[in-house]
Structure 1
Amino acid sequence: MTILEGWDSHAWIEGQWIHRAPRRPEVRPRLLAETTLLPWLAPQLPLPVPVPELTADGVRHLLLPGEPFTDGDERVGRELGAFLKALHAVDVQEAVLRGALDAETATAEKAAVLREFREQVVPLLPAEVRTSAHELLDRVANVRTALVHCDFGPDHILMTDGRITGIIDWTDAVIGDPALDLCWPLNGAPEAVAAGLLELYQPAPELVERSRDWARLSPWYGVHRGLLLDLPDDVENGLPTIVASL
């Protein structure tokens, strides 16, 4: 048996199955929701996703082949663009009925985090950038129009021989801002991947700009975590990155 550990779940591999059990009580309902959301979602998507089933500890699903993304070309970008375009087009009401976190609950949870950013992080920034910081937090606060993966990055994109073989880790799936799923592909992935995604997805300019806002927000989470866990180096190292992105 191979043991794996994640932020939200304990995970282990037995044969062809990967098992996941929640690390904290609040994770359990989101983990179990995958057993109703993903079987409904999988046939609507052009790339494989896990299809979990319930177990005594949590959930399990068949292993998807591949290793986390390390590089890609325009073809990979087009595959990601087709995948996200299909994901963001699914019926929102049906997604909620199948287990996705609804917009009202997600908005309340995000509002609490953004409020802590305002109260704890903004006062640590130089006075001359605080207005820009508040404006950034305003821009990412209230857009919730589609089902989003919500953690769409290289660790959760599996590849074999240059082709995508699966999109994993759907615990955070929520009705939210599609620009969040575009954040890494357009602002962190290789240029060729971004070009392929833009060609296929064809996002509106405001969606592209909000993806940049989500990228600007990324270092805030590290500083916030550093404040919560009393990690002063994380705070000290993260603040200049926030300032540089504003």
Structure 2
Amino acid sequence: MPTARPANPVIDEALVQRLLTAQFPAWAALPLTRLDPAGSDNVIYRLGDDLSVRLPRGEWAAGQAEKESRWLPRLAPHLPVPIPEPVALGRPGEGYPWHWSVSRWLTGSPPEIGALPRPDETAAELARFVTALHRIPADTSRAHDDPLASRDSDTRAAIAATAHVFDSSALTAIWDAALATPPHPPVWVHGDLHPGNLLMADGRLSAVLDFGELGVGDPACDALIAWTLLPPSAREVFRVESGLDDDSWRRGRGYALSTGLNAYTAYAATNPRVAASTGHQIAETLTG
């Protein structure tokens, strides 16, 4: 008989308190404040004024804490904006099965789509970030397979499933154009550069978060932000300042289309916030 998959643990304040007491007692007396909504991969608590605790929700995110602990300190000195600074890597324990992390708290709030105070400046700041990241020397032997091609069947199915909402012919043409481009040599990529993984303060980009998808791959995936956050005029600023070539730009549009469609089909019916953001993302890919 097959073994039943264990249920994901309940991640609440009591669990976090037990983990801190057992592994990092110097922080155990600090107040905990749960961030809600947090990301889909991690539960996040603010710890005192200066720290945050991130705990993977499930097996799919279980390796992120270890990856960020290893690589973010090496990348941070080369980047023009702050990124998470891991200060401790927690071990499985207290009934919790995965590694978890404690990082420095970063100030700011996620940008509001359609309400950037200075969109051209934000586009230039984002372009400088991705350019700096892509230029950091990477071990290309660690490159993963092209995730764009691996999305083909799911993306075409999502185009068909949303034909009553979006122009399926136009979306198919965008997708075909993206797949037809030749690959780019692999570089360091963030891999999930969307508005929820950015912080703004005083109208400026103050931090880039959540490097769970960090890897060595196609730089086009980091152009995702151009269609998820930026208006068309600022999108062109990002395109010019980032230096992405025409083929990479077409693939970036493909990434924006694919991620938007798949999130829309998975969550739009049950989550109005996701429906609005992904519907906007798909509509923006249609504008160019």
TM-score, L = length of structure 2: 0.65
Q: Which residue of 2 aligns with 1:103?
A: 143
| Residues 213, 73 of structure 1: alpha-carbon distance in 2 compared, 3 angstrom cutoff | same
Unaligned runs of 5+ in 2: 1-31, 92-98
Supply the distance in 1 between the matched residues of 2:203 and 2:175 (Cα, whole angstroms).
41
Supply the distance in 1 between the matched residues of 2:180 and 2:64 (Cα, whole angstroms).
27
Q: Which residue of 2 aligns with 1:114?
A: 152
Q: Deviations over 1:128-167 (max 9, x none)?
A: 9497487357348965622111111222121111121111
Supply the distance in 2 between the matched residues of 1:47 and 1:20 (Cα, whole angstroms).
21
Could you tell me which of 198, 201, 212 is aligned with 1:160?
Answer: 201
Q: Which residue of 2 aligns with 1:66?
A: 108
Q: Deviations over 1:23-74 (max 9, x none)?
A: 1123121221100110000001111111213123511111111111231332
Q: How does 1:1-246 map to 2 (within 5 A)?
A: 1-4=32-35, 5-15=38-48, 16-52=50-86, 53-56=88-91, 58-70=100-112, 71=116, 72-93=118-139, 102-104=142-144, 106-107=145-146, 113-118=151-156, 120-121=157-158, 124=161, 129=169, 132=173, 135=176, 138-139=179-180, 145-185=186-226, 188-191=229-232, 193-222=234-263, 224-225=265-266, 245=286
Which has the larger displacement, 40-49 or 29-38?
29-38
Supply the distance in 1 between the matched residues of 2:134 and 2:223 (Cα, whole angstroms).
11
| Residues 177, 117 of structure 1: alpha-carbon distance in 2 compared, 3 angstrom cutoff | same
Task: Name the amino acid aligned to 1:55.
Answer: G
Supply the distance in 1 between the matched residues of 2:110 and 2:183 (Cα, whole angstroms).
31
Look at both structures and tell me which one has the larger radius of gyration over its CA atoms.
2
Supply the distance in 2 between the matched residues of 1:162 and 1:215 (Cα, whole angstroms).
24
Task: Name the amino acid aligned to 1:60.
Answer: V
Supply the distance in 2 between the matched residues of 1:22 and 1:12 (Cα, whole angstroms).
12
Supply the distance in 2 between the matched residues of 1:134 and 1:194 (Cα, whole angstroms).
19
Task: Name the amino acid aligned to 2:152.
Answer: L
Unaligned runs of 5+ in 1: 97-101
Contact 2:178 2:253 in 1 (8 A): no
Task: Name the amino acid aligned to 1:64.
Answer: L
- Structure showing greater relative contact order (alpha-carbon pairs closer than 8 Å, 6 or more residues apart): 1
Q: Which residue of 1 aligns with 2:20?
A: none
SS in 2 for 1:41: helix
Alignment coverage as a number of residue pairs: 226
Task: Name the amino acid aligned to 1:103.
Answer: A
Contact 1:187 1:211 in 2 (8 A): no
Task: Name the amino acid aligned to 1:114.
Answer: D
Task: Name the amino acid aligned to 1:43.
Answer: P
Q: Which has the higher helix share?
A: 1
The runs of at least 4 consecutive aligned structure 1 residues that moved more than 3 Å come to 109-118, 120-126, 128-134, 136-144
Which has the larger displacement, 42-51 or 2-11?
2-11
The structural deviation recorded for 1:212 is 2.1
The structural deviation recorded for 1:223 is 5.2
Contact 1:158 1:167 in 2 (8 A): yes
Supply the distance in 1 between the matched residues of 2:40 and 2:184 (Cα, whole angstroms).
26
| Residues 186, 137 of structure 1: alpha-carbon distance in 2 compared, 3 angstrom cutoff | closer
Q: Which residue of 2 aligns with 1:99?
A: none
Supply the distance in 1 between the matched residues of 2:233 and 2:174 (Cα, whole angstroms).
31
The alignment yields a C-alpha RMSD, in angstroms, of: 3.5
Task: Name the amino acid aligned to 2:143.
Answer: A
Question: Between the two proteins, what is the percent identity of the paired residues?
Answer: 23
Task: Name the amino acid aligned to 1:180.
Answer: C
